[in-house]
């Protein structure tokens, strides 16, 4: 039983880590460009909802992902307009976005899908066992028996790292988070970079949200994301603004989440509500303990004006 | 003979909301000359150069480069036209290497792939054809001294093929020695055919390095002269609009008892020791000036004395009382402090003038009593100070952020001086303000000294320290290189600012 | 005279305009989902102020909104963005329940004691985040949100565990001494309404007429300058956290003592989150919070009837709130950059400049 239990736990860890990781990767790109969007949570929620809605009305799963991504891109675009072009306070706008997402998803869900007695479930991305590789003991089951989104997410981690640290685009983007006017003075369009970063961030967060409905919960409920966007921000800090660090951080949270669920199902005596608290408590501890480890981009949340 | 102008700026106007920053400015630059652009802070020099460099768009006017009318709509365009600018505040990414900073934004030329190794190789290659100077390619900017950071800025624009260099107040952050080195480099550039615009408000430098000077005042060009055919007094008159007193009327000091006594003070900071074993005292009726290049521990010294920063060793006595463990609250109740940065520290921009005038005294009577603010007293105080110090404002309820720099500084100075304490610490009290306000503030400080206050003046403007002080201490890397008379030759003080100790005779 | 006019335009007319704009946009959204926006808005109005009972219920909802709005406003003045009023509200209610169920004393003791217990619990909940911010620099924004989730789980645990009474996941009723007296006979409106109003005026006074208020505003506007001036900023921040959390905690206690009488799992319908918009709309002025909380109470009060009559889910009010926040921040940023008036001035002086150039060019 022990082996099965542990493999199951680790498999679930990766599964639960994926949506957080997606959002965290997006958040990381935006933060490197000097933007902290606490509307991340709302973008996840919208991604989850519009992905769900598309599939609910008969769209394919990939169309659902597309719709989710599109909603994230749009939200990113509006956020960029309000904070990059109009120089508004990123925190307040982000908070408003979260509220907006909560209202609009809940509202449309009730108006369109309605509240009936039955749950309105949808199909999901299936687990794909990769031939041969999945036969490797332990690691096989852990890494090569997951759904396609998990594989794709793990793939983009090194891609983002490569772009940020091995290409001129990455050098320019990171420099914008440190000293935007320096980058501007070299003739690089700072505003364009910021827009692209925020849009990418919105898209990745929305993909993370879509994962929740299309590969995890197969239904939508109000406030489905339940703070995962905020947890993703903590993960970025935990990971020192590095994609591989974010991977590690999201695994820690995935583990906390998976562990909490396992404990419940075995019926261990720790009260259920305390288990549910675990990821949030962990976030607070990480924010409080690790924040001094690495420095955030110097000009984070400071609007850039020539 | 037709002159060979590389840049001609014609009738440039720049309108900001409420301010006409450039009013029909004409400016031209000849090939191979060093052209000084002289003016006070706020005269419109930076606006003009930002327009030339494409950071700002002119409201009206034309720019000709090599005789061709050109619209410079971005820094990229300026760089393409061969114009490079070294900004007063360096445009360098602190945690990148020298090479990465130089290669930043050169995607078109260098391709998509970039990392530290590659950048370093590119720069080494460039050094082959550049003969003037080199900076280690792999060092991070934050590990370089300021003088070398400036060189990186110059390498950056040379790498981009600039033939026209704009230098915005390049000596503001340099020691006298570093300044000399920079001037040698600039002269070499001139011989090699580069054209240079040298922005400054320091007359000596303009006289030393430039061939021609354009003087600006209040957004307008006042005149353009050959440096050889002019002198300091004339330039000053053009810059300020009236005769300028080069020496302040200073009575002999009547020195009294010791007010501030600092013994063996040391201050540790994150990156090491900012202040090492400093001992000095300031007495009634004298000004002790602390000269030095920015960043040599001045900030830490002052913050430690006023209690904003913990001391790692040593003692501080004020009027014979032990104030080693003083808190900012206690300090502010009995002493004055004009802080270094008025925007960030000295005032609250969103508070009214009246509220700012009680920032450090609001806990004292009559401004408050038992926790309640006394609006009448606050208003009366505000009206008095506005008249006494000539603060130009429509009224005491105006927010400080709508005042000019000089008037904001007057708010700080009047608040701190009118507290009437025995001790005044003033840090860069006249930085970045107009000559008129500078004179007024300096005269006020001298008057306070004559009334028997002890004054510690910390300033990076050597001229100011020499003009006001009775004794001059030169600080270098947290230590005093010596305490000397203000009559000491500038050259020896310059040497001390660069780290050589005063030789006792 | 002039100043009053400015306050009237910026403080009253503009916010009303934003609210109308937000309602309009929400109406369009409602229309897009095939529902009737006019019916929705009319039933919203009727549900909120259509009769004595409705009006009293709306004022009843105003109490927690006002107190939580004050909580956000005062914290915001020190640059502490308290998104945690929701959690502090819950903690206040939780602690008040523990006290008011466990102790049975005369009302004269029970009422003030329950207030204090609730306020203290909320205050401490906020204080923890404040201390973490001062000690480690961790953002209060994420932490207060995390503390909201933690508080929600704590309440869930309490009503399923130690405070559980009977089969349902809820506490037993508070003892009669802790029940708030009714203010308006024949309705549920209790004296908590007066307490909240009084606190708004007291806070307004403290903020603008006392040394304490001067100092916390200074801390919020420019921390470095406050430190330089000898203001004990960390202490002020901590005190403000206590007050801010205390107000939200008190709101929780009052909601329990005046309305629900028991604690249950979904105790707050999101008052703490609404409070952010309430405070921002009032530009963080305590007196203004009175008006903005009334507005939001109307939205919440009518939302139920809107849901029943027009089949429009009440969560649409989150959309309205979000839009209001965006409009408010947009207008304050425009004030700094390019207001209509400034653009006009710019245009005029620009023309002057051009004319000058022309005349010179001609000569």
The full 3-state SS of B23-60, as one line of letters, equals EEEEEEEECCCEEEEECCCCCCHHHHHHHHCCCCCCCE
CA distances to A70, B328, C236, C255 from C239, rounded to whole Å, are 45, 19, 5, 24
Burial label, B277 (beta-carbon count in 10 A; 0-12, 13-18, 19+): middle
How many residues in chain B?
505
Count the Cβ atoms, other than its own, within 10 Å of residue B246. Answer: 11
Contact C225 B346 (CB under 8 A): yes
Q: With H, G, I as helix, E, B as strand and everything else as coil, classify residue A88.
A: coil
Contact A182 B93 (CB under 8 A): yes
CB < 8 Å to A178, chain B: 93-96
Chain A CA closest to residue B100:
A171
What is the per-residue pLDDT for A33? 95
Chain A interface with C: residues with Cβ < 8 Å: 38, 82, 86-89, 91-93, 95-97, 99-100, 102-104, 106-112, 222, 226-227, 230, 233-234, 271-274, 276-277, 280-281, 283-284, 287-289, 291-292
Chains that touch B (3 or more CB pairs under 8 A): A, C
What is the per-residue pLDDT for A119? 67
What is the per-residue pLDDT for B380? 95
Mean of the pLDDT values across residues B232-239?
88
Strand partners, C210: B372
Give the CA radius of gyration of chain C.
Answer: 23
CB < 8 Å to A111, chain C: 33-35, 311-313
CB < 8 Å to C312, chain A: 107, 111
Q: Is residue C358 over pLDDT 60?
A: no
Q: How far apart are the C-alpha atoms of B191 and B325, rounded to whole Å?
A: 58
Q: How far apart are the C-alpha atoms of A43 and B502, rounded to whole Å?
A: 64
Q: Quickly list DSSP for A134-166.
A: GGSTTHHHHHHEEEHHHHHHHHHHHHHHHHHHH
Q: How far apart are the C-alpha atoms of B429 and C320, rounded to whole Å?
A: 50
Q: Out of A110-114, B255-259, C295-299, which region has the weakest mean confidence (pLDDT)?
A: A110-114
> Which tens digits make up the pLDDT trace of B42-95?
788 989 999 999 989 999 999 999 999 999 999 999 999 999 999 988 999 999
**Residues C180 and C258: beta-carbon distance below 8 Å:** yes
**Any A CB within 8 A of C141 CB:** yes
What is the per-residue pLDDT for A294? 63
Mean of the pLDDT values across residues B408-414?
92
Residue C353 — very low, low, confident or very high, per pLDDT cuts 50/70/90? very low
What is the per-residue pLDDT for B484? 92
Nearest to B207 by CA among B222, B227, B224, B226: B227
Contact B115 A182 (CB under 8 A): no
Average pLDDT, chain C: 87
Decide which of C181 and A256 is more confident: C181
Interface of B with A in 90-109 (CB under 8 A): 90-96, 100, 103-107
C-alpha neighbours within 13 Å on the C-beta side of residue A85 = 11
What is the per-residue pLDDT for A270? 67
Structure tokens at B55: 């950071």
Q: Is residue C339 over pLDDT 60?
A: no
To test the contact with chain B by mutation, choose from C79, C218, C230 the residue with the greatest count of B C-beta atoms within 10 A, namely: C230
Contact B332 C229 (CB under 8 A): yes
Nearest CB among A165, A174, A187 relative to B105 is that of: A187
Nearest to C317 by CA among C11, C12, C34, C40: C40
**Residues B361 and B415: beta-carbon distance below 8 Å:** yes
**Any B CB within 8 A of C232 CB:** yes
Chain B CA closest to residue A185:
B75
Structure tokens at B147: 């003088």
Q: How far apart are the C-alpha atoms of C363 and A71, rounded to whole Å?
A: 60
To test the contact with chain A by mutation, choose from B50, B97, B108, B115 the residue with the greatest count of A C-beta atoms within 10 A, namely: B115
Decide which of B271 and C92 is more confident: C92
In this prediction the ipTM stands at 0.87
Contact A171 B87 (CB under 8 A): no
Residue B434 — very low, low, confident or very high, per pLDDT cuts 50/70/90? confident
Nearest CB among C210, C230, C349 relative to B372 is that of: C210
Mean of the pLDDT values across residues A13-30?
95
Nearest to C212 by CA among C23, C74, C68, C112: C74
- The residue with tokens 């990171």 is A174
> Which tens digits make up the pLDDT trace of C221-232?
999 999 999 999
CB < 8 Å to A162, chain B: none
Share of chain B above pLDDT 70, in %: 98
Nearest CB among C231, C349, C360 relative to B15 is that of: C349
Q: Is residue C326 over pLDDT 60?
A: yes
Chains that touch A (3 or more CB pairs under 8 A): B, C
Which of the residue ranges A17-26, A244-253, B392-401, C135-144 has the most confident prediction, judged by mean pLDDT?
A17-26
Strand partners, B216: B221
Q: Is residue B152 over pLDDT 60?
A: yes
Q: How far apart are the C-alpha atoms of B483 and A276, rounded to whole Å?
A: 66
**Any A CB within 8 A of B122 CB:** no
Contact B330 C342 (CB under 8 A): no
CA distances to A111, B422, C212 from A116, rounded to whole Å, are 11, 80, 54
The DSSP output letter for B317 is E
Residues C280-318, buried b or exposed e (16+ Cβ, 10 A)? bbbbbbbbbbbbbbbbbbbbbbbbbbbbebbbbbbbbbb
Decide which of A140 and B128 is more confident: B128
Q: How far apart are the C-alpha atoms of B12 and B62, rounded to whole Å?
A: 7
What is the per-residue pLDDT for A267? 65
CA distances to A35, B254, B469, C142 from B282, rounded to whole Å, are 48, 13, 11, 49
Residue C161 — very low, low, confident or very high, per pLDDT cuts 50/70/90? confident
User: Of all helices (H) and strands (E), which one includes residue B216?
Assistant: strand B212-217
Q: Where are the alpha helices (DSSP H) in B139-175?
A: 146-159
The DSSP output letter for B174 is S
What is the per-residue pLDDT for C4? 59
Mean of the pLDDT values across residues C194-216?
96
> Which tens digits make up the pLDDT trace of B449-472?
999 999 999 998 888 999 999 999
**Residues B328 and B306: beta-carbon distance below 8 Å:** yes
Chains that touch C (3 or more CB pairs under 8 A): A, B
Instruction: Give the phi and the psi of residue C258 in degrees, each rounded to 5.
Output: -105, -25
CB < 8 Å to C153, chain A: 273-274, 276-277, 280
Q: Out of A103-107, A289-293, B285-289, which region has the weakest mean confidence (pLDDT)?
A: A289-293
Mean of the pLDDT values across residues B100-128?
90
Q: How far apart are the C-alpha atoms of B344 and A120, rounded to whole Å?
A: 56
What is the per-residue pLDDT for C5? 62
Count the Cβ atoms, other than its own, within 10 Å of residue A8. Answer: 15
Mean of the pLDDT values across residues C136-156?
89
To test the contact with chain B by mutation, choose from A166, A171, A183, A300 the residue with the greatest count of B C-beta atoms within 10 A, namely: A171
Q: How far apart are the C-alpha atoms of C149 and A167, rounded to whole Å?
A: 40
Mean of the pLDDT values across residues A220-244?
88
Q: Out of A89-93, A265-269, B312-316, B415-419, which region has the weakest mean confidence (pLDDT)?
A: A265-269
Count the Cβ atoms, other than its own, within 10 Å of residue B160. Answer: 20
Q: How far apart are the C-alpha atoms of A173 and A297, rounded to whole Å?
A: 11
Q: Is residue C115 over pLDDT 60?
A: yes
Contact C315 A291 (CB under 8 A): no
- The residue with tokens 């999901």 is A124
Nearest to A216 by CA among A171, A150, A264, A272: A150
CB < 8 Å to B11, chain C: 357, 360-361
What is the per-residue pLDDT for C342? 40
Contact A166 B114 (CB under 8 A): yes
CB < 8 Å to B99, chain A: none
Contact C353 B332 (CB under 8 A): no
Strand partners, B64: B8, B69
Q: Is residue C340 over pLDDT 70?
A: no
Q: Is residue C258 over pLDDT 70?
A: yes
Q: Is residue B228 over pLDDT 70?
A: yes
Contact B18 C345 (CB under 8 A): yes
CB < 8 Å to A276, chain C: 153, 156
Q: With H, G, I as helix, E, B as strand and everything else as coil, classify residue B5.
A: strand
What is the per-residue pLDDT for B245? 66
Q: Is residue B275 over pLDDT 70?
A: yes
Strand partners, B118: none
Helix count (H) and strand count (E) of chain B? 17, 22
Count the Cβ atoms, other than its own, within 10 Å of residue C332. Answer: 16
Give the CA radius of gyration of chain A.
Answer: 19
Query: Cα dihedral sign for B489, B490, B493, B498?
Result: negative
Q: How far apart are the C-alpha atoms of A81 and A88, rounded to whole Å?
A: 9
**Any B CB within 8 A of C349 CB:** yes
Decide which of B169 and C5 is more confident: B169
What is the per-residue pLDDT for C200? 97
Interface of C with A in 168-207 (CB under 8 A): none
Q: How far apart are the C-alpha atoms of C301 and B290, rounded to whole Å?
A: 67
Share of chain A above pLDDT 90, in %: 54
Chain B CA closest to residue C219:
B348
CB < 8 Å to A186, chain B: 75-76, 79, 91, 104-105, 156
Residue B259 — very low, low, confident or very high, per pLDDT cuts 50/70/90? very high
Q: Quickly list DSSP for C49-68.
A: HSSHHHHHHHHHHHHHHHHH
Contact C313 A107 (CB under 8 A): yes
What is the per-residue pLDDT for B240? 83
> Which tens digits make up the pLDDT trace of B8-17?
999 999 998 7
Decide which of C235 and C341 is more confident: C235
CB < 8 Å to A281, chain C: 146, 150
Residue C361 — very low, low, confident or very high, per pLDDT cuts 50/70/90? very low
> Which tens digits make up the pLDDT trace of A125-134?
988 888 878 8
What is the per-residue pLDDT for C352? 45
**Any A CB within 8 A of C35 CB:** yes
**Residues B246 and B467: beta-carbon distance below 8 Å:** no
What is the pairing mode between strands B287-291 and B454-458? parallel
What is the per-residue pLDDT for B222? 93
CB < 8 Å to A166, chain B: 113-115
Contact C132 A287 (CB under 8 A): yes
What is the pairing mode between strands B471-476 and B287-291? parallel
Interface of C with A in 80-139 (CB under 8 A): 81, 83, 132, 135-139
What is the per-residue pLDDT for C354? 46
CB < 8 Å to B344, chain C: 222, 224-225
Residue A274 — very low, low, confident or very high, per pLDDT cuts 50/70/90? confident
Give the CA radius of gyration of chain B.
Answer: 25
CA distances to C63, C109, C202, C249, C294 from C198, rounded to whole Å, are 11, 21, 6, 17, 15
Instruction: Give the phi and the psi of residue B504 in degrees, each rounded to 5.
Output: -75, 135
Average pLDDT, chain B: 90
Contact C33 A222 (CB under 8 A): no
CA distances to A45, B135, B293 from B186, rounded to whole Å, are 59, 17, 21
Residue A151 — very low, low, confident or very high, per pLDDT cuts 50/70/90? very high
Q: Is residue A117 over pLDDT 80?
A: no
Q: Is residue C348 over pLDDT 60?
A: no
Structure tokens at B496: 């001390």
What is the per-residue pLDDT for C77? 94
Mean of the pLDDT values across residues A9-34?
94
Query: Cα dihedral sign for A6, A7, A12, A17?
Result: positive
C-alpha neighbours within 13 Å on the C-beta side of residue B43 = 23
Contact C315 A107 (CB under 8 A): yes
CB < 8 Å to B360, chain C: 228-230
Q: C14-32 and C316-337 helices cross at what angle (nearest 10)? A: 140
Q: Is residue C357 over pLDDT 60?
A: no
């Amino acid at each position: 039983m022990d082996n099965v239990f542990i493999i199951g736990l680790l498999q679930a860890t990766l599964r639960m880590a994926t949506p957080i990781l997606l959002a965290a990767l997006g958040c990381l790109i935006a933060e490197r460009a000097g933007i902290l969007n606490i509307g991340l949570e709302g973008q996840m929620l919208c991604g989850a909802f519009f992905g769900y809605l598309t599939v609910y009305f008969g769209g394919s799963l990939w169309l659902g992902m597309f719709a989710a991504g599109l909603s994230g891109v749009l939200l990113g675009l509006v956020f960029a307009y309000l904070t990059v072009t109009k120089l508004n306070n990123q925190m307040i706008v982000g908070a408003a976005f979260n509220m907006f997402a909560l209202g609009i998803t809940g509202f449309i869900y009730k108006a369109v899908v309605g509240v009936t007695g039955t749950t309105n479930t949808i199909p999901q991305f299936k687990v794909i066992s990769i031939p041969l590789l999945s036969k490797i003991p332990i690691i096989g089951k852990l890494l090569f028996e997951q759904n396609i989104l998990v594989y794709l997410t793990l793939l983009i981690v090194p891609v983002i790292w490569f772009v940020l640290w091995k290409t001129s685009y990455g050098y320019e983007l990171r420099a914008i988070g440190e000293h935007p006017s320096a980058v501007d003075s070299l003739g690089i369009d700072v505003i364009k970079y910021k827009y692209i970063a925020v849009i990418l961030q919105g898209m990745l967060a929305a993909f993370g949200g879509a994962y929740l409905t299309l590969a995890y919960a197969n239904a939508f409920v109000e406030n489905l994301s339940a703070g995962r966007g905020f947890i993703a921000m903590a993960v970025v800090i935990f990971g020192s603004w590095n994609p591989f660090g974010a991977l590690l951080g999201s695994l820690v949270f995935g583990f906390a989440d998976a562990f909490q669920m396992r404990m419940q199902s075995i019926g261990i005596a720790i009260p259920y509500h305390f288990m549910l608290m675990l990821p949030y408590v962990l976030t607070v501890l990480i924010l409080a303990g690790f924040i001094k480890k690495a420095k955030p981009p110097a000009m984070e949340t400071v609007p850039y004006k020539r | 003979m037709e002159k060979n102008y590389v840049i001609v700026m014609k009738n440039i106007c720049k309108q900001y909301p409420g301010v006409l920053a450039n009013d029909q400015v004409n400016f031209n630059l000849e090939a191979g000359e060093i052209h000084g652009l002289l003016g006070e802070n706020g005269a419109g020099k930076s606006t003009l150069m930002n327009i030339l460099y494409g950071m700002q768009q002119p409201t009206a006017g034309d720019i000709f480069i090599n005789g061709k009318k050109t619209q410079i709509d971005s820094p990229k365009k300026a760089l393409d036209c061969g114009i490079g600018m070294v900004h007063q505040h360096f445009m360098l990414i602190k945690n990148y290497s020298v090479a990465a900073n130089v290669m930043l934004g050169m995607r078109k030329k260098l391709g998509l792939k970039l990392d530290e190794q590659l950048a370093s190789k590119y720069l080494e290659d460039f050094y082959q054809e550049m003969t003037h100077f080199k900076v280690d390619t792999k060092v991070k900017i934050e590990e370089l001294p300021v003088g070398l950071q400036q060189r990186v800025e110059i390498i950056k624009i040379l790498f981009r093929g600039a033939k026209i260099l704009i230098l915005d107040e390049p000596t503001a952050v340099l020691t006298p020695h570093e300044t000399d080195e920079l001037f040698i480099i600039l002269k070499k550039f001139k011989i090699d055919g580069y054209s240079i615009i040298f922005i400054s408000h320091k007359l000596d430098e303009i006289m030393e390095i430039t061939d021609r000077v354009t003087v600006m005042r209040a957004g307008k060009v006042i005149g353009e002269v050959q440096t050889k055919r002019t002198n300091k007094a004339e330039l000053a008159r053009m810059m300020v609009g009236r005769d300028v007193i080069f020496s302040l009327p200073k009575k002999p000091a009547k020195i009294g008892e010791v007010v501030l006594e600092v013994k063996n003070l040391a201050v540790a900071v994150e990156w090491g020791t900012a202040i090492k074993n400093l001992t000095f005292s300031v007495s009634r009726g004298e000004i002790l000036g602390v000269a030095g290049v920015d960043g040599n521990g001045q900030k830490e010294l002052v913050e430690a004395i006023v209690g904003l920063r913990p001391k790692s060793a040593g003692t501080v006595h004020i009027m014979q009382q032990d104030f080693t463990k003083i808190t900012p609250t206690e300090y502010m109740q009995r002493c004055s402090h004009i802080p270094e940065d008025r925007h960030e520290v000295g005032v609250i921009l969103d508070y009214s003038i009246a509220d700012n005038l009680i920032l450090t005294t609001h806990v004292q009577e009559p401004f408050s009593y038992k926790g309640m603010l006394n609006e009448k007293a606050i208003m009366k105080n505000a009206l008095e100070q506005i008249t006494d110090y000539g603060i130009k404002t429509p009224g005491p309820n105006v927010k400080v952020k709508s005042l000019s720099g000089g008037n904001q500084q007057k708010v700080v100075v009047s608040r701190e001086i009118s507290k009437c304490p025995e001790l005044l610490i003033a840090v860069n009290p006249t930085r970045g303000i107009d000559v008129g306000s500078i004179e007024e503030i300096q005269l006020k400080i001298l008057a306070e000294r004559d009334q028997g206050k002890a004054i510690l003046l910390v300033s990076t403007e050597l001229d100011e320290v020499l003009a006001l002080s009775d004794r001059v201490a030169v600080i270098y890397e947290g230590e005093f290189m010596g305490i000397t008379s203000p009559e000491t030759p500038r050259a020896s003080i310059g040497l001390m600012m660069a780290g050589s100790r005063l030789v006792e005779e | 005279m002039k100043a009053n006019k400015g306050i009237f335009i910026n403080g009253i007319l503009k916010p009303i305009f934003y609210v109308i704009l937000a309602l309009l946009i929400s109406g369009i959204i409602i229309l897009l989902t095939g529902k009737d926006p006019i019916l929705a808005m009319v039933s919203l109005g009727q549900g909120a102020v259509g009769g004595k009972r409705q009006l009293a219920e709306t004022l009843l909802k105003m109490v927690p909104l006002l107190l939580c709005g004050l909580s956000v406003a005062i914290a915001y003045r020190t640059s502490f963005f308290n998104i945690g009023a929701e959690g502090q509200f819950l903690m206040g209610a939780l602690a008040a329940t523990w006290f008011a169920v466990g102790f049975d004393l005369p009302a004269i003791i029970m009422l003030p004691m329950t207030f204090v217990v609730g306020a203290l619990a909320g205050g401490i909940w906020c204080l923890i985040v404040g201390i973490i911010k001062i000690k480690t620099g961790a953002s209060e924004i994420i932490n207060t949100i995390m503390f909201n989730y933690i508080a929600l789980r704590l309440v869930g645990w309490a009503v399923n565990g130690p405070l559980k009474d009977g089969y349902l996941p809820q506490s037993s009723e508070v003892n009669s001494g802790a029940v708030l007296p009714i203010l308006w006979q024949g309705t549920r409106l209790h004296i908590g309404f007066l307490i909240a109003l009084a606190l708004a005026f007291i806070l307004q006074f403290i903020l603008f007429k006392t040394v304490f208020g001067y100092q916390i505003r200074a801390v919020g506007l420019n921390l470095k300058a406050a430190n330089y001036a000898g203001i004990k900023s960390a202490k002020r921040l901590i005190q403000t956290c206590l007050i801010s959390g205390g107000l939200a905690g008190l709101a929780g206690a009052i909601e329990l003592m005046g309305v629900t009488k028991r604690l249950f799992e979904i105790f707050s319908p999101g008052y703490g989150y609404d409070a952010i918009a309430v405070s921002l709309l009032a530009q963080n002025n305590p007196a203004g919070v009175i008006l903005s909380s009334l507005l939001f109470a109307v939205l919440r009060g009518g939302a139920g009837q809107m849901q029943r009559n027009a089949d429009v889910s009440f969560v649409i009010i989150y959309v309205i709130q979000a839009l209001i926040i965006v409009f408010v921040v947009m207008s304050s940023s425009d004030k700094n950059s390019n207001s209509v008036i400034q653009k006009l001035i710019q245009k005029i002086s620009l023309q002057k400049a051009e004319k000058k150039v022309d005349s010179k060019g001609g000569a």
